[in-house]
Structure 1
């Protein structure tokens, strides 16, 4: 029996075999990083109660598109949760929040430090009252340091981590990776760290404080580039769809559409030369190693590009697949959602939402042999949809 069950919050999981089915999570997050973290925990079976103020999570208004008034941003990060609406500025709302907190194993919040202080939810204050609680804060810049009070967004994290400085076609046109990259990574990192902290909690009876920032998460994506720079490499520059070390490892034009080719090692380079039918290229000793191809990058790229322009993409991709050369067309989302591999693995999952109706979204990026079902247990909640139900479960003497 979990801490949450002992304190009066019922298990709403439909499958007790999921790894986190006895973990109770109180979700005080908004926008995207925090909801992603709690959704991943919920996908693993955790009972997640999402608390919103009467204004609701900002992502409820992110759009278009809206499906029958429901934001697809909100739907994509809030499945398998129950929703509670509380006005924390009132004594009733604050009291209900404390009861929910006492019934939880994990608290995850994305409030800024000043708001945490006003609500009595600062880490030291909460963990002193609940020493067995796992407390997680997701913020722009972390719990401490000179910029800890600043607001953080994905764009800011991508810029400040150096990610944008190496993304794009040239130094004059730095590019943001066009998705909520640092938010999604921060959510993944937070869910992993929380799961580890819960494991420690169950072994020792002690909670922990998990400090996750968008900046640290974006910086983690830059780890190989930072390591190379600190080891003496030159300041990296944007290099389009190429790689700083491997050659060729980039996009190329074919007769009809662009593809990518990844010669990740010397064997794959020889296979590529064979697929191109270029024995002279394969026999060149200056190109036999990764370092040699890097030194001769312009010649390598120009020669491969000349070959690839002669035939359509489907012919090259079939030949590369036959010879074991990693390659792919650059898919549009129309092609992504109809990809036979993704369809077979049910990577896009479906839910019947009471407001939006039948909806589709990206599922969790893992598979469990012990639990092969990909079904959504609960669609993303309406604002305050489960308030009465959840509060009625709490032990009034808690």
Structure 2
């Protein structure tokens, strides 16, 4: 399927990257100045943005100046011949350009047209700009991150961007099934704001239940304890020992039997209510051994746990290396570029899509535009 991609930065490009990873022909439309993501860094690799290269593999780059009549005409021809359009302009921009769904569908009634925006096409905030951190803030996500009494904190990975891209991909795939069943295309309205809410299903359900505004609790889970990271002599271990049986075993392993049925800790709700007292007690014992000393003790007793890994630890871990979670391409400017492999569930006989490097700006402009009817007529 052919995808014409008018998106930039992260949310839209994540969607089109996933479609490209599954074999779609993604034509990335860029202004003469390029996708804003090309300017995001550090890090840079021989002058190329690593962030851009990570999100734009397997695509073809076409430069069009949508401020000119020629650029609009070329964009119209591409969308008229496309299966899918993905755009991430602020609501109303595509209409002003004459490339909105209602206009394009007159030429291409089977078109699947996915609009990705910060707040949605019809929100009271539709006209406002938004990026990952802004939406983390306004959606409440930032308010529950960080440590008690600390400054507001965001999830460092752009989780709203990534989630929006994944949900947009799901929406497009649903629309493809609908098209196959009915022959009808449709317009998809995907917002970063709603994606951030979807990330917080359990947290918001808890708030709706008791109307208590949640506060940050560091690495702890607000609904169970012990279920957080505790310091050891030389690092940290994440422990999930909130199930009644595991809680009792955990107390025995730490020689804290007197706390098994302590009124402050007898139930999960009690332990959550008295999390700070519990953490002080557990920490006083956990710091007596190193992380490597504790892990086999917990694992043998079936206590759910893991060391808190940094990225160097992660990449060196047996699970990561055995899983083959990295892939790479050779970029003509940046050289060897390594990234997390395209997501692909283990489906028997699923064809493997070769990985192509992220394109340089306008790399495929002539190739793509020369095949348009307008070019053939004037050629």
TM-score of Structure 1 vs Structure 2, range by shorter chain: over 0.9
Deviations 1:59-79 (A, max 9, x none): 111122211121001001001
Deviations 1:39-96 (A, max 9, x none): 0111122221111111100111112221112100100100111111111222222221
Q: Which moved more, 1:259-268 or 1:200-209?
A: 259-268
1:360 matched residue in structure 2: 338
Alignment CA distance shift 1:304-1:366 (3 Å): farther
> In the alignment, which of 10, 14, 17 is matched to residue 39 of structure 1?
17
State the alpha-carbon separation in 1 of the partners of residues 240 and 152 from structure 2.
23
1:221 matched residue in structure 2: 199
What pairs with 1:142-291 in structure 2 (closer than 5 Å)?
Answer: 142-282=120-260, 287-291=265-269
Q: Which 4+ residue blocks in structure 1 deviate beyond 6 angstroms?
A: 372-375
State the alpha-carbon separation in 2 of the partners of residues 203 and 193 from structure 1.
15
Q: Is the 8 A contact 2:21 2:353 kept in 1?
A: no
State the alpha-carbon separation in 2 of the partners of residues 376 and 273 from structure 1.
51
Deviations 1:125-147 (A, max 9, x none): 23344221111111111001211
2:290 matched residue in structure 1: 312
State the alpha-carbon separation in 2 of the partners of residues 172 and 302 from structure 1.
19
Alignment CA distance shift 1:274-1:267 (3 Å): same
Q: Aligned with 1:183: secondary structure?
A: helix
Deviations 1:327-358 (A, max 9, x none): 22221121122222111112121111122111
State the alpha-carbon separation in 1 of the partners of residues 276 and 89 from structure 2.
49
> In the alignment, which of 68, 71, 77 is matched to residue 46 of structure 2?
68
Q: Is the 8 A contact 2:23 2:353 kept in 1?
A: no
Q: Which moved more, 1:91-100 or 1:54-63?
A: 91-100
Q: Aligned with 2:86: secondary structure?
A: strand
What pairs with 1:73-152 in structure 2 (closer than 5 Å)?
Answer: 73-152=51-130
1:334 matched residue in structure 2: 312
Q: Is the 8 A contact 1:351 1:376 kept in 2?
A: no
Deviation of 1:124 after TM superposition, in Å, equals 2.6
Q: Aligned with 1:190: secondary structure?
A: helix
Q: Is the 8 A contact 1:165 1:171 kept in 2?
A: no
Alignment CA distance shift 1:240-1:352 (3 Å): same
State the alpha-carbon separation in 1 of the partners of residues 261 and 35 from structure 2.
60
Deviation of 1:179 after TM superposition, in Å, equals 2.1
State the alpha-carbon separation in 1 of the partners of residues 156 and 149 from structure 2.
18
Instruction: Please tell me whether residue 345 in structure 1 is matched to residue 331 in structure 2.
Output: no
Q: Is the 8 A contact 2:48 2:333 kept in 1?
A: yes
State the alpha-carbon separation in 2 of the partners of residues 245 and 121 from structure 1.
47
Instruction: Please tell me whether residue 388 in structure 1 is matched to residue 363 in structure 2.
Output: no
Give the aligned length.
376
Q: Which moved more, 1:336-345 or 1:35-44?
A: 336-345
> In the alignment, which of 27, 34, 37 is matched to residue 49 of structure 1?
27
Q: Is the 8 A contact 2:76 2:104 kept in 1?
A: no
Deviation of 1:289 after TM superposition, in Å, equals 3.5
Q: Aligned with 1:113: secondary structure?
A: coil
State the alpha-carbon separation in 2 of the partners of residues 359 and 104 from structure 1.
30
Instruction: Please tell me whether residue 24 in structure 1 is matched to residue 12 in structure 2.
Output: no
Q: Aligned with 1:84: secondary structure?
A: strand
Q: Is the 8 A contact 2:79 2:104 kept in 1?
A: no
Structure 2 portions without partners, runs of 5+ = none
Q: Is the 8 A contact 1:349 1:374 kept in 2?
A: no
TM-score normalised to structure 2 length: 0.92
Q: Aligned with 1:336: secondary structure?
A: helix
Q: Is the 8 A contact 2:80 2:104 kept in 1?
A: no
TM-score normalised to structure 1 length: 0.88
Q: Is the 8 A contact 1:35 1:187 kept in 2?
A: yes
Deviation of 1:156 after TM superposition, in Å, equals 1.0
State the alpha-carbon separation in 2 of the partners of residues 163 and 311 from structure 1.
35
